[in-house]
Structures are given as C-alpha cells and as structure tokens.
Amino acid sequence: MSPDNAPAPAYVIDPAGGCPHALNARLRARGPVADVVLPGGVPGAVVLGHEALKEFLAHPDAAKDARHFPSLHDGTIPPNWPLRAFANAQGMHTSDGADHRRLRSLVGNAFTARQVERLRPRIEELTAGLLDDLGRVAAEAPDGVADLRTHFALPLPMSVICELLGVDPEHRGRLHHLSHTVIIATDTTPAEAMAAVRELVELMGTIAAARREKPGDDLTSALIAAREGDGDRLSEAELIGTMRLMLVAGHETTLNLISNAVRALCTHRDQLALVQESKATWSDVVDETLRWDGPVSWFPFRYPTRDLTVDGTVIPKGTPVLAGYTAAGRDEAFHGPDADRFDITRPTAARNLSFGHGAHYCVGAPLARLEAVIALEQLFTRFPDLDLAVPEPELPHQHSFIGNSVESLPVRLAGR
C-alpha cells in the first residue's frame, strides 16, 4: 500500500475518450495539474484548474514549438505515434515569439470584429437555408426525427469557413471526414491517422493550387499573395499548415459548440425560457456553454522550456502538456460550488478559457461566437419547442479526449 503522501499514479488516457466531466472532477480533486500517460505510452501532463490553466497558457516559458519536446526527436517516440500530427504541424498554433506574430498577422485581419460583422448577412442567409433543409428532413422522416448535427450544426460553420478560405463545395465533405479523423477521433490507429494526415495535406495543396491559378477574394488567395510577395514570410508548409488550422478550428469547434448548446437548452428548459422571455441573451447561452460543456476537452500541446511550477506543481522541462479546457470550466474554486450547474446568468461564465488565453487566444473566436449566436437564435425562433428525440444520456459521445460533444443529435422540431 502506498503512503498517504505518495504522488497519485499517472492517469492513462483512454484514446476512445468519452464524456470528460466525471473524470475531470476526480483528477481536479487531486490538484490543478495531473500526470497522464498519452496514447502510445508517452508521459505527459494536463492542467485542470482555471487559475492554473490561465497562468500556464500565458506563461512565457510554455512553448508551442515541438523543438522543445526532446522525446519527439531523439528516437524515444516512434515515427508512427498517433499524436505526432499535432506536434509536427506547422503554423501559428505550433510557433512562438516572432514566428507566431508573423503568422498570426497574416490571418488576423480576416477575423477582426469589424470583418466578422461583415459576414453576418451571409451567416444569417446560410442559417435560414439550413433550417429550411432541417425542416424538410424532419417532415420526410417517418418518426419526425432529424439529426441536427448532420443537417445544421455541421454544414453552417463548414460552409462559412470554406467560403472564407475559397474552398470549392465538392471538397467539403471529404475535408470534414479527414479533419475529424486527424484531430478529433483519437481512437484511430496510427496507420489511419497518418494516412488521413497525408490525404489532408494533399487536398489542401490541391486547394491552394486552384487558388494560385485563379485567385479570388478569399483568405487562401491572400495568404498565397503574402507568401509570393515576400518569399521568406510564408513557406509552403506554413501555408498548408495555416489553411489546415483555419479549416479545422473554423468548423469542428463551432460544430461542437452549437451541438452542446442545443443539448444544454433542451435539458434545461428554464434556461431556454430566460432567453425566450428576454431575461438573458443568446450570448449568455454561448458563454455558459463554453464554460459548462466546452467544445474542446484536453488539447495538445505546450512544452515547458524549463522546469515550470504551475500553481504549486512542478511540470518538468520538455513535458507535452494538455490544456484541460473542460476541466477548468467546472472548477469550483473559480466558478463556485455549483459549477456543475448550467446557469446562463452565472457572473463568471464570460471569463471561461475555452478560446484560450494569452498570445495564442483563438483568432477565430469572434466568428465562432457570431455563428453560434445566429444559429441558436434562428433555430429556437423557428422551432421554439424543439427537443431531443432520445434521452440525453443515450446520445453517443465523441470517441475523443480532445473534442467534447456527441456523434449525433436527433431532435424533434415540434418537441415530444
């Protein structure tokens, strides 16, 4: 038997993931940082507490560049490690300092509050059309049930980000499948993951080639022009990496955010009533969903460039560290003893960390918020009695410890 003061054993991450909240609570009870064993037997850590995560995300000695992860390069970790795609990706999400600022500046102008607001009419138009489609699917189904995730929560952000990037419609289905395989589905085999990475990079290259041959008023064309106007600013790998980041972050997270908000409102009708009675706003719903059931659970990676003490816990130099967003969202030390309760009037909800913190704060956060607000407002205005078609605990959770949502979301538009 271990002595009472012995360190808790490292948690061995299940690649199949599942709903993270009970696990988060158990690990958070031990402390704000937990040792973990990543898939493939790689030792790592996850930061779980709100204040600890806020400190870690903004710490100057917590790097994103995998050159600070020695085990990745010295032969300790095999080439087919399933999470290598996260560490090896090139783009602003895996760079630091001047490189990060350079890459971020190339896309930042597309996501300012003013630029995003210009997209509102198009997002509203897409939303209305998708709700028409959702209504038709439900009307034609023998049981009146439609999968809201497939027919609404997915195609809305996918259409928006693909139009922004200049991606032709015929590529969108495959792009979602590949990005889901590479980023979200952490239960895939190493061979499946590597094949998906190769195909995704090739497809992004095809898209970039099309925009290079026929430039348009889109972000990919702008990135190519910036690179070709000053050849040392953006390499081909950085171009593809930036496009991949924009595509994945631009739809997978918003897909989960919309899905999770709908689930929360359907199972907390009193909170939905507050918005419908104008006692709260759809922005309040988005903030509380981000806190209570955020779209990303444990996200890889940051690496301490020295032994780093975070809220009293030492994380050794070179450790691959996960950001525990869903864990921080229900941290009772910050959000209060009722942190497990969905409450859109919660004062601390807007201070959630689901979009990150510090220099790497999500550049697309204004767009994700706008899409979610428009989607939820139009959805529940058109279908105010919408409800889940099955009990919420029976919904299949994503097979992921990175993404946090369900695989499908069957609903009845007129309620039960």
**CA-to-CA distance for 353 and 102, rounded, in angstroms?**
24
The dihedral sign for the CA sequence 9, 14, 17, 19? negative
- And the tokens for 168? 């032709």
**CA-to-CA distance for 378 and 258, rounded, in angstroms?**
12
Strand-strand pairing, 11-12 and 33-38: parallel
Give the chain's residues under pLDDT 50. Answer: 1-4, 416
Place of tokens 């529940």: 380
**Angle CA 234–235–240, to nearest 5:** 95
Which three-class secondary structure state does DSSP give residue 194? helix
Q: What is the pLDDT of residue 197?
A: 83
Q: Letter for the amino acid at 1?
A: M
- And the tokens for 204? 């992004």
What pTM was computed for the model? 0.94
Strand-strand pairing, 410-412 and 145-147: antiparallel
- Cis check: omega of the bond before 380, within 30 degrees of 0: no
Q: Letter for the amino acid at 415?
A: G
Q: What is the pLDDT of residue 6?
A: 59
How does pLDDT run across 101-127, given as a tens digit for each residue? 988 888 887 788 888 898 999 999 999
The dihedral sign for the CA sequence 128, 131, 137, 143? negative
Q: What is the pLDDT of residue 3?
A: 40
Do the Cβ atoms of 393 and 382 come closer than 8 Å? no
32, burial (CB in 10 Å: exposed 0-12, middle 13-18, buried 19+): buried
Which three-class secondary structure state does DSSP give residue 92? helix
Number of residues that this document lists for the chain = 416
According to DSSP, the residues that pair with 310 across neighbouring strands are 313
Using alpha carbons, select from 412, 413, 407 the residue that is nearest to residue 256.
407
Provide the terminal-to-terminal Cα distance of the chain, rounded to the nearest Å. Answer: 53
**Phi and psi at residue 255, in whole multiples of 5°?**
-55, -50
The DSSP element (H or E) to which 66 belongs, if any, is none
- And the tokens for 64? 């994103």
CA distances from 22 to 13, 224, 243, 290, 323 (A): 14, 45, 35, 17, 17
Q: What is the pLDDT of residue 5?
A: 53
**CA-to-CA distance for 156 and 224, rounded, in angstroms?**
26
